Amino acid sequence: MLIKSAMLFLSNKIIVNTIIAAILTLGSPAVFAQTSNPNPDINVIELRNYVLKPGQREKFTSLFEQHFVQSQFDLGGYPLNWFKVDGAPDNFLWIRGFTDMASRSKFLPAFYHGAVWKQYKSDANSKLANNDNVYLLKPLTLGNEALETGKPLSSNLLKGNKGIAVIDFYTANTKLDKLKTAFAKYYLPAFKRAGIENYTLWESEMEKNDFPQLPVFQDSNLLVVITFYKDEVEYHEKQKLFEASLNEDVKAELQDIITIKNTLVVRSSKSW
């Protein structure tokens, strides 16, 4: 009888300890990233490039990861990645995805009028110098030898947390259609020849931003390319191959179409 009682006690203790360990493990960011993050298809992203007060980036990143990742996922806004920006030690760039504009319209008031933001917004705002540099974008995909909108992208394409990401902003003043044609005709084949594979293309989402408390850029002349590389060596090597594969006539045509090109090199600052 005593042996059976001892065995029952040990069995119950093992079960309790196992449950406690599971709860503690599931609460960790790494396991949250593996088990709780949905992988929805994305029709809209916000590319949000914040400027923080000097010396606040690490503290802001920690606050963001602890309180503003899962809480947004729960409401249908998806923080997909967040980055350090090369040459800008006080910047925090992050990508928030939505399944569509309708879900964005529901998410924004739910989150920014909700309990989590109300609790932590003072702490977050105290670290921010400027958070208005935001692009509202929708994906472009190749179909029928042309770039088209309307097809969602997997959120996994934006979740890389190793190596670097390069974000290219192409402004084609009144010539976006020509730029999209040139991308389909020249750029994408050149990407393939250079071995550039892990990229996504975006243009501005022009549907009305119905949450004016968070202003966004909606530039009808803009095309954005987000590309992931394993490191800077691969980036520069593949860029050389890409440039070499374009002949002089094509380069001249692109010079006429592209008014401005700006590039950001960023590195994921995810802790998991």
Angstrom distance (rounded) from CA 236 to CA 227: 13
Q: What is the pLDDT of residue 227?
A: 98
Angstrom distance (rounded) from CA 222 to CA 205: 10
Residue 18 pLDDT greater than 60, yes or no: no
Q: Which sign does the torsion angle of CA 198, 148, 152, 270 carry?
A: positive
Q: What is the pLDDT of residue 38?
A: 64
Angstrom distance (rounded) from CA 174 to CA 259: 10
Q: What is the pLDDT of residue 20?
A: 40
User: Percent of the chain at pLDDT above 70?
Assistant: 86
Q: What is the pLDDT of residue 161?
A: 79
Angstrom distance (rounded) from CA 61 to CA 79: 12
Tell me the pTM. Answer: 0.86
Q: What is the mean pLDDT of residues 247-266?
A: 98
The residues pairing with 200 across neighbouring beta strands, listed in sequence order, are 226
The residues pairing with 170 across neighbouring beta strands, listed in sequence order, are 223, 261
Domain 39-272 fold is: Alpha-Beta Plaits (3.30.70)
Q: What is the mean pLDDT of residues 8-24?
A: 42
Residue 59 pLDDT greater than 90, yes or no: yes
Residue 17 pLDDT greater than 50, yes or no: no
